[in-house]
Each structure stands twice: as C-alpha cells, then as structure tokens.
Amino acid sequence: MKKSLADLQKIVRGKKLVIWGAMIVGQGICRVLERYDLSVNSFIDSSDALQGQEALRYPIESPAAVIHSENQDEQVIIVASGHYDLEIEQICLEAGLQKDVHYVMSYELNDVDPSIDVSGVCNLRCISCPRGNMKEHATPGFMNLAQYKQVLDKLLDELPFLGSIQLYTWGEPLLNRELSEIIRYTRERNVLTALSSNLNAPVGYQEVIQAGLDWFKISASGFEESYEITHTGGKWSNFLSNLKKVVALRKELAPEMQIILNYHLYKHNIGQDYERMKNLCHDFDIIFRPSPAYLYPLDNVWDYIDGKRLSVQSLQTLDLLLMELDDGIQKALKRQENRCPEERCLPITWDKKVRFCGVYYNPFICDNFLDIPIEEILQRRKKSDFCKECKKRGLHQFTGVYLAEHYLNED
C-alpha cells in the first residue's frame, strides 16, 4: 500500500531514522527524507565493503546491532534495497520487528527508480554489452539541459518520494557536454545524482564533480592488459589516468562523493589482476565491489534460451564467464516466483523514449515520456505479453543471480 508523507511522518515521529541499504536506492531515500526535513541517523548495509564507510556524510554500520537493539521502539528502519528488500524484510520479521512500527518498506513510498540515458552514445564496444554485441542501435544523440528539466520536473510532479536519478543506461554520460549543468539542476531539486562511467572519456571530470555529483560508479574488468579484453576499445592507460584524476578531484572538491568500482569477474581477471585492483581501490579509498560478469542485455539471453544464433561478440563473452550462462539461467528459474526487481526501473532514453526495462535494449514502451502519465506507462508494461514471456523464462531474476558481491581469496 502506497504511503503519503503524512503516513510516514506519523510512523517516524520522535524516533531515530535508519536506512537499510547504502547504495543508490537507500541514498535516494535519504535525500527524500532530507527534502522533507526528516533527520537521518545512519545507514546500515550487509555489504562488508560498505560497512565503516560513509554515504552522504552518514556512517554505514552493520545491520546486526540495529535489528537486535534493545531500543527497537525508539527507531525506525527504512528498508531501501532494489534487489534484496524482501529478504531484508524477512530478517526484520525474524528479529521480532513489526512493519510500519519498527520498519517501513521504501517501495511503499516510491516504487519507481528512473534512469535517464543522457547520452545515446558510448565510446567503447564491450563484448558483454549491446554496444559491442548487437548490430542494430537506436538513433544516437544527447539530451540537452532544457529537455532534461522537462523530464525531471515531470518525474517529481508524479513521484513525490523520488530520491535519485541514474544518469546512465547504455551510454557514456561524460560524452554529454551539458552533463555538469544537468547534475547541477538535479541537485537544485534535492535529488541524488548517480553516474556510471568507463573512465575512457577524455574530459568532463572536474566539471561534473564541481557540479555536485553524489555517486560515481566506475566499471572495470581487468588490470593492465586484461582490462582491454572485455572493456573492448578502452585503454588501460586512459582508465588509470582518469581514475587518479577523479580521486584527486574528490579530495579537492567533494570529499563526500562516493566512488564505487564495480569489478566484473571473468575467467581471465580473477588471479593476480583481481588482487591488484582490490589493492588499488584500497589505496585510493574506493569501494571495491566484485561480482560475476554476465551477458548483457537480456535480449541476448532470451535469444539463447530460444535457441537463436548469437553474435560473435556474445559467444566470446560466454567463453569468458566465470558463472556459466546455463548455470545462471537455472538459478534464475529457481527464483521464478519472486517479484521482479526490475519493475522499479523506468529507463528513459536521451530522446525521451521509454524502454520496457532497464536490462533490455529493446523494445520501447512509449515514444515520448512527456506525453504519458507514469502510472499509465507502468500499467502498459505490467499488462504486456513481453513481461509475461520474460517471467516465463525466469529472466526477471537473472541479473540478481549475478549481482551479489563475490569476493575471492577471502577467509
């Protein structure tokens, strides 16, 4: 059941607020609470990589002390995880916590996490990504500031608990020359800005950090020579140089900005290269989050299940996967009855189209986001044969199988 601001204020009045989930969803909820003058005490997160860190200047702690606290009636947990919210709720219930007394599910405040692909262009051709393994692509281009303001204003009008915007899907956002102004406007509206980059763009880093970027995700899949195998077209020297630049700029301009390095695990980068990247992240005070790579987008996995021929690049990717594709599909099928976490996604393209889902490259559900209410867009998707067919194949659970942190050589 959706909650209003008045509902939330009644539940949390006079209590400490703790957010369970320190990634984009949780940080977005934090920004919403701040927007409505509700004070946050801290984050908690199950990730060892995040505990002891800070998010938006709040400490990130282990969940254990909070959920087993003797002062349960003096605090409220906001459960804010895109993929693991139901698992977290079960932990809360097993600890004797009561829903809407001791904890609140963030999806009952806002169950939509928009992404705006402000760049319809990418500078790499990674073999595990549609930019490198699919032949047909939508029209390239960039969203300008005026268009972005229209889109964000509509989102905030229809989603009062909107907390974050991901300024990426399938493009490299740093190629958009108006990106810094887009970030600045987002911050003016008190919405968290999240960016993902391959760090091979030649310019733009200082401008976006000065503009107030909150959350900088970096993708990598190797170290030195192994990096360029699956970050196809990228150069390690460019990546390392720009990584050092981002770390230095954070220290100078935005010490509260969070930098997370998502290390995609393949067969070719799990030995010494894994250790070197982990140590580099430690030295640079970057959160290191390794997880098994998978074949993207799910258009390709759907074709694989249906016995269709995959591109040469997709087949190259399959040979390198740490978790075999068939294993990933079978694990997803075992979770087939679970709610689809991608229902939260609202992927808007640079030219204001809306994709069915954030993990698919095609098809599109509407041609102009500005023309159709969000609720109508969501209903179109919910009733579509596309979603039914995806769930029949278990693909709505596929990315969740791979996204779990997977640390190697840990005691």
Cβ neighbours for 382, distance < 8 A, ≥ 6 positions apart: 343
**Looking at residue 65, what is its pLDDT?**
82
The bridge status of strand 192-197 relative to strand 164-166 is parallel
Helix (H) / strand (E) element for 317: namely helix 312-320
Q: Which of 92, 108, 124 is the last residue of a domain?
A: 108
Condensed to tens digits (0 to 9), the pLDDT of residues 210-247 reads 999 999 999 999 999 999 999 999 999 999 999 999 99
Task: Indicate yes or no: pTM above 0.85.
Answer: yes
For residues 348 and 114, the answer to whether their CB atoms sit within 8 Å is: yes
* Contact predicate 151/116, CB 8 Å: yes
Mean pLDDT of the region 184-213: 95
Whether 395 and 270 share a structural domain? yes
Q: Residue 66: pLDDT band by 50, 70, 90 thresholds? A: confident
- Residues 228 and 254 reside in one and the same domain: yes
**Are 104 and 50 within 8 A, CB to CB?**
no
In a domain, 409, yes or no: no
Q: Are residue 256 and residue 375 in the same domain, yes or no?
A: yes
Residue 133 within a domain? yes
Domain range for 79 is 5-108
Is residue 183 located within the same domain as residue 53?
no
Q: 14 in a domain, yes or no?
A: yes
In this structure, the answer to whether residues 97 and 238 fall within a common structural domain is no
Residue 60 pLDDT: 93
Choosing from 108, 136, 170, the residue where a domain stops is 108
DSSP β-bridge partners for residue 355: 364
In a domain, 408, yes or no: no
Comparing 24 with 281, which gets the higher pLDDT? 281
CATH number for 391: 3.20.20.70
Residue 410 resides in a domain: no
Q: To the nearest 5 percent, what fractions of the chain are helix, strand and coil?
A: 45, 15, 40
The answer as to whether 218 is a domain residue is yes
Cα dist. 103→2, 39, 72, 162, 168 in Å?
A: 15, 16, 10, 19, 31
Do residues 231 and 123 make contact, with C-beta atoms less than 8 angstroms apart?
Answer: no
In eight-state DSSP terms, residue 199 is S
Considering the domain architecture, whether residues 219 and 138 belong to the same structural domain is answered as yes
Q: Which two tokens stand for residue 358?
A: 């954030």
DSSP, collapsed to helix, strand or coil, labels residue 302 as: helix
Q: Do residues 199 and 238 touch, judged by C-beta distance below 8 A? A: yes
Same domain, 121 and 101: no
**Residue of 382, 291, 293 whose CA lies nearest to 340:** 382
Q: Pull the structure tokens for residue 164.
A: 């974050």
* Whether residue 237 is found in the same domain as residue 251: yes
- Do 69 and 150 share a domain, yes or no? no
**DSSP-based three-state secondary structure for 207:** helix
Instruction: Give the chain's mean pLDDT.
Output: 93
Work out how many domains the chain is built from and give that number: 2
Name residue 320's amino acid.
Answer: L
Handedness of CA 297, 299, 305, 307 (dihedral sign): negative
On whether both 95 and 158 belong to a single domain, the answer is no
Give the whole-angstrom CA distance, residue 222 versus residue 234: 11
Q: φ, ψ for residue 289 (rounded to 5)?
A: -130, 95
Which amino acid appears at position 63 of this protein?
A: P
Share of the chain above pLDDT 90, in %: 82
Q: What is the pLDDT of residues 368-388, one digit of tens each?
A: 999 999 999 999 999 999 999
**Helix/strand/coil for 166:** strand
Residue with tokens 């250790």, as numbered in its chain = 275
Across residues 14-22, what is the average pLDDT? 94
Helix ranges (H only) for 140-201 are 145-158, 179-188
Q: Report yes or no on 411 lying in a domain.
A: no
CATH number at residue 78: 3.40.50.720
Q: Which helix (H) or strand (E) holds 220?
A: strand 215-220
Same domain for 193 and 139:
yes
Residues 76 and 44 in one domain: yes
Name the nearest CA neighbour of 311 among 361, 274, 352, 347: 361
Residue 405 pLDDT grade (very low, low, confident, very high; cuts 50, 70, 90) = low
